[in-house]
Each structure stands twice: as C-alpha cells, then as structure tokens.
A and B are shown apart, each in its own frame.
Chain A
Amino acid sequence: MNFINKLYQLSRPIVAIGLIAVLAIVIFPIKTVQAADMSGSGYIIKMGTINIVSGTVGNSSVKLSTTVGQTVSGEFETTGYRLRSGFQHTATSEPFSFSLGTDAISLGSLIASTFGGANTTLTVGGAGVHGYSVKAIEDHSLQIGESQSTIPDTVCDPKEKCTPNRASPWTSTISYGFGYNMSGDDVDQNDFTDSTYFRPFANNQSNQVPVTLMGKPGRTEKATATITFQANISPTQGNGTYENSIQFIALPSY
C-alpha cells in the first residue's frame, strides 16, 4: 500500500504538467507555416518589364526568373504608348486555361417525379496572382426545338425558392424543373451547402446575366469543380427531346 501511495503522489505532478500541456496546446494551436517563391538551394529573383522573352533560367544552384523587353521609362514621349502585358508579377507556369469535362450532357430518359441527373467537371489553370471567376448562362430553358414546350428552370423546394444567384435545397419530387449543384475547388460553400442545394441557370431569354459558379481572388494554379445537373418532370410533361445550350465563361481577374 505504501508503494501505491508513493506512486500516486509521484503521479500528481505529472498529471498537472500534462494538464498544463493540454491547456497550452488548446490555447496555442500549432499552425503550419507557409512560404512561397523561396526554396531549396537557390534563389528566385523577380523583375518586371514587358515580355518579349520570359522564363526561368539557371543551373542547379541559382534560378533566375526574368523578362526581357521594352522598358517603360522614357518610351512614352517618343513612341506614344506604354504597355504592360504578361508582366512578371502575374506570371505563372502556364497560360490561363479552362476546360469542361464534356461538351454535351444527357439526362437520359426522365421519369415523372423522379430526379434525373448528370455531371461533369470544370477545370481552371494558370489564373495568376489576381484570381479568376467562371460564370454560366443558358440560352433558354430546356425545350423541344423551337416549340413552347419547356422544362422550366427549377425554383427548388417551394418553401425556399432558389434563384440564379442563390442555391437552396431541392429534394421535393413534386417540384419540377432543371438546375445544377456545384462542389469542389473555389465553389461558394456557403451557398452550395451540400449536394441537395441547387440553382437554376441564368437564362439569356429572360435577359439575365451570367452568374458566377466558381472563383477565387489571388493566385490559383489549378482548380477543379464538379457541376451536377438535375431535372425533374411532371407527369403531364410532353414526350420529346428537350435541349438547350449552356455557355461557361472563364475570366481572369484584373
């Protein structure tokens, strides 16, 4: 018993130190350190002017990222212009690019009051230091040819109507229409809270403007998001092939 008592008394300070350590970790959380542009055995030195030639040169110990071209000072009076394009601080390893996983989607044969869907990816690269946005707009609602027979743009569940700028849950099978959900990089997670949140596309025929699907301020090397299309038709929806066109527009920020 004496031995156990001694062990107990010895353990008290250890418990106290442990408690203090836990408190310290809670109050001073460990954070990752991020650094950019300087790493390894050499240097990256950046200079800015107009690109006639640009790129990264060097050997194993030194790397120079540089541009060669027209200097700015004193040129304006003689030439009548001053240019800046692709200047160094916006340079990335690749040009601004945008791609869609497919150029057409099929929702298949839709069954009344049953959700049908399809998805594809949107990928943006080389957005540079300022960031980018991807917007979308449809030419019109899904319709058969030039007829007036349409699948309307969704308003989502009746109690929380979604709009081209605001997503809301769409789980009710008696709510008919066509819309989309977004997930992945640079998607507004506050709007597309989960996979049940949908929006209708902005509709060109209704004079609406393209709406942002994904985007980010600041440097973006690569971002990929998934767009999920969803449709639900009423039992009275006429048979036929309903179609529209959706334009996705990737714009760099300035």
Chain B
Amino acid sequence: MILLLFPLFSPRAAEAGVLGLSLSPSIFEANIKPGKTITQVFTLKNNSAAEQTFVARVIPFTPGDALGNPSLRPNLLPEWLKYFSLSNSDIKLNEPFVLAANQSTQLILTINVPGRTGSGDLYSTLLVSSVVKDTPNVSSTMGAAIGSNLLLTISPLSHPPSLVRISDFAPTKTSFLFRYADVYLVDSLTPIYFSATAKNLGKYFVKSAGALKVEKNGANVSTQNLLANNILSNSERVLEGSPSGQLVYKPSLTSFGNYLVTLDLRNENSSSHAELTTLVLPIKITAVTTIAILVISSIIKVNKKKSDVKK
C-alpha cells in the first residue's frame, strides 16, 4: 500500500537535472464546526531545471516522535479523506498535472465537513510528489515529494476541552552536579539546560503556550517563553524555549542560593505546572580562587626560603 507514495508512472525521455519543489504554507490548522466548508490556498512551485509532472494527495499521519515529525500512513484510508478536494479547474487530488520549470501554481484545498461528523481531530499531510521519469540506462530514478501538515479539529466548540500534563521536567544531566530529591546543585557559571515533555491526554491538539520562570525569594529572575509547538491528541511533545529551542537559565556571577524554577503550560481552558529547586553555588569561582591562593602562597614561601638561605 505504500506504493501510494509513488506517483503515477509517466514514460518520458529526460535528462538528469536538479529536481526541486516548494510548498507554502507548510502547516495549516483549523477548528471547524461540523457542516462547514473551508478553503485554504497552497502555493506550489516547480524549482526544477525542467518541466515536471506532479501529483497532489492527502495522506493521513500519526505522530512519529516527540519532536513533531509526522509518520505518514498511506495505507490508512479513512472515510474522512473524502472531506478533502481541490477546487482548481485543472488540478485534482491523486491526478497528475504538469508545471513548467520555475512555474508556480495555487492548489485550492477545500475541506467539506459533513454535518453529522463526530468531534475529534484529523491529522493529514498534503503531499505533492514528482512523477518519477523513465530514464534509460540509469540505476535509480528519483522522485521528490514535499508535504504540508493539515491539523484539523472538528468540534462545535470554539475552544474544545484540552488536557495537557507536563512530565519529566528536570535539568539535563550535564547541567547539574548533584541531586537530592527535587533539589539540584548547580554551578553559578554554568548555564542550566532543562528538558521537559508535555503529554496531551485530550481529544484535540493544543499549543505549548507557557513559560519557564526562575524565581528567588518570590522575585522573578528570568522568564523564557515556550515555542508554540503543536501537541497532538494522545501524544507527547518535547517542550522548547523561544527563540533558540533550548530551555535554559544562565545564572550570573552573583547568583547564589536557592532558585525556584517553574514551568507552566497554559491553554484556553487548561493548564499544567511543574517546578524544581536549584541550589546555585560559586563552585568554579571557589575552585579557581583556592588554586590561585595555593599557587601564590607556595611561590611566596619558596621565595622567602630562598631569601632566608641567602641571609
């Protein structure tokens, strides 16, 4: 069934050359009431050096990992695939069409949700594949495909209920020196990187809106917003900080003592909270100072001994 990924065969002599395409936007999210129809326009461009034949398909996917990578399921043929169609006059889903080199076209995707459709999420990818050309006397002919993820929530509610929980919130292994219960001993000059995962136990996808905050004695020391990643229904997602993707707190030279680190996830109608304590100590500064004192005092002692001997 994975053969569905392979475009229709189109015999045609061709010279080997760059094969490329682009598709925009790369993600489309919608919350639709049953009985409604929506339309989204995608721009497809043939970046190849020559004319290419393409096929557009809608393929269901499931969460492939906790990093937001979809796992295409071309062998799944759910009834709801019939909700999708292209409103273009000359391009249809699952049928080949031709684009000249560097030509762009718009794919007008229409999603028609029947009135009696049950509530829930539908995850799929609009996949546009190049048709593999029949090139004589070569070992492997190659096709390129590109996707745009479609995340649909079917619900009569504007903000359907969500249930998200934070799990595994902790500093990364290299960020702390010692752990006792939920207290982590860290150095004041070492950035503290955190890892955390969010579990969506609900029926609908949600965004990982929230923040990582560091407080000392109730006063805010640092705030880092989370990247608004999508957490699909019944799946996990690694939480990332904005803008670098890393959840990180960098203590200053003067940082010393207990710091409360909290991680909050909040959505329109749910929230989740996790916290831990870091004990920040100037371990590296102390080590260097101690070594410096030892070295200098040894030199002074040696010099003093030498001068005593001379006398």
Q: How far is the CB of B212 from chain A (nearest CB, A)?
A: 16
Choose one: A19, A129, A249; the contact of B227 (CB below 8 Å): A129
- Interface residue count on the A side (C-beta < 8 Å): 81
CB < 8 Å: which of A97, A104, A212 contacts B20?
Answer: A97
Report the minimal beta-carbon distance from A210 to chain B, rounded to whole angstroms. 7
A:202-235 near B, CB below 8 Å: 204, 207-210, 212, 215, 217-219, 229, 231
* A250 touching B146 in the complex, CB below 8 Å, given contacts A36-B244, A131-B67, A215-B69: yes
How many Å lie between the Cα of A137 and that of B21 in the bound state? 18
A20 within 8 A of B: yes
Stretch at the interface among A74-82, A165-173, A189-197: A74-82
User: Closest CB-CB distance, A88 to chain B, in whole Å?
Assistant: 10
Which one of A80, A126, A128 lies within 8 Å of B36 (CB-CB)? Answer: A80
Return the chain A residue nearest B243 by Cβ.
Answer: A36
Binds B, one of A58-66, A155-163, A238-246: A238-246
A98 lies within 8 A of B20 (CB): yes
- Per the bound structure, the CA–CA distance linking A225 and B115 in Å amounts to 47
Chain A residues within 8 Å of B67, by CB: 131, 217, 253
- Cross-chain contact A105 with B138 (CB below 8 angstroms): yes
> Does B254 sit within 8 A of A, measured CB to CB?
no
A127 at interface by CB-CB < 8 Å: yes
- Minimum CB–CB distance for B45 against chain A, Å: 7
A138 proximity list for chain B (CB < 8 A): 140
Q: How far is the CB of A96 from chain B (nearest CB, A)?
A: 4
Q: Which residues of A are found within 8 Å of B189, using beta-carbon distances?
A: 28
Please judge, given known A-B contacts A20-B292, A86-B24, A131-B67, whether A210 and B142 are in contact too, CB under 8 Å: no
Q: How many residues of B contact A (CB 8 A)?
A: 82
In this complex, the member of B125, B146, B147 whose beta carbon has the largest number of chain A beta carbons within 10 angstroms is B146
Q: How far is the CA of A245 from the CA of B148 in the complex (A)?
A: 23
In the bound complex, CA of A28 to CA of B289 (Å): 13
A120 to B20, CA, bound (A): 13
Residue of B nearest to A48 (CB): B228
A243 to B33, CA, bound (A): 49
B76 to chain A, nearest CB (A): 12
Q: Is A112 located at the chain interface by the 8 A CB criterion?
A: no
Q: Does A9 count as interface, using CB distance less than 8 angstroms?
A: yes
Cα separation A95 to B137 with both chains bound (whole Å): 35
Q: How far is the CB of B53 from chain A (nearest CB, A)?
A: 12
Asked whether any CB of chain A lies closer than 8 Å to the CB of B19, the reply is yes
Give the residue among B127, B140, B230, B287 with the most A Cβ atoms within 10 A. B140
Which A129-185 residues sit within 8 Å CB-CB of chain B? 129-131, 133, 137-139, 142
Provide the bound-state CA to CA distance between A145 and B24, in Å: 37
Interface string of B139-153 (1 = CB under 8 A from A): 111111111110100
Asked if B309 is at the interface of the complex by the 8 Å CB criterion, the answer is no
- B36 contacts A105, C-beta separation under 8 Å: no
Let me know if B220 is at the binding interface, CB within 8 A.
no
Does B101 make an interface contact (CB < 8 A)?
Answer: no
Please tell me which one of the listed residues A20, A94, A217 contacts residue B240 in the complex, with CB atoms under 8 A apart. A217
Q: Is the CB of A248 within 8 A of B21?
A: no
CB within 8 A of A254: which of B47, B149, B284?
B149
Nearest 9 pairs of A and B residues by beta carbon: A99-B20, A95-B24, A86-B25, A97-B22, A76-B158, A253-B68, A218-B245, A80-B33, A252-B26
Q: Which residues of B contact A (CB under 8 A)?
A: 2-3, 5-6, 14, 16-33, 35-36, 38, 40, 43, 45, 47-48, 64, 67-72, 125, 127, 129-130, 132-133, 135, 137-149, 151, 158, 189, 227-230, 232, 238, 240, 243-245, 284, 287-288, 291-292, 295-296, 299, 302-303, 306
30 contacts between A and B (CB under 8 A): A9-B303, A20-B291, A76-B158, A81-B38, A82-B31, A83-B31, A96-B24, A97-B21, A99-B48, A100-B142, A101-B18, A103-B14, A104-B14, A130-B229, A137-B2, A137-B5, A142-B140, A207-B2, A210-B72, A219-B243, A245-B132, A245-B142, A249-B72, A249-B145, A250-B145, A250-B147, A252-B26, A253-B69, A254-B68, A254-B70
Beyond the given pairs A81-B38, A105-B139, A247-B144, 8 more chain A to chain B contacts, judged by CB atoms under 8 angstroms and listed by A's residue number, are: A16-B299, A97-B20, A97-B23, A98-B22, A103-B143, A242-B139, A250-B146, A254-B27
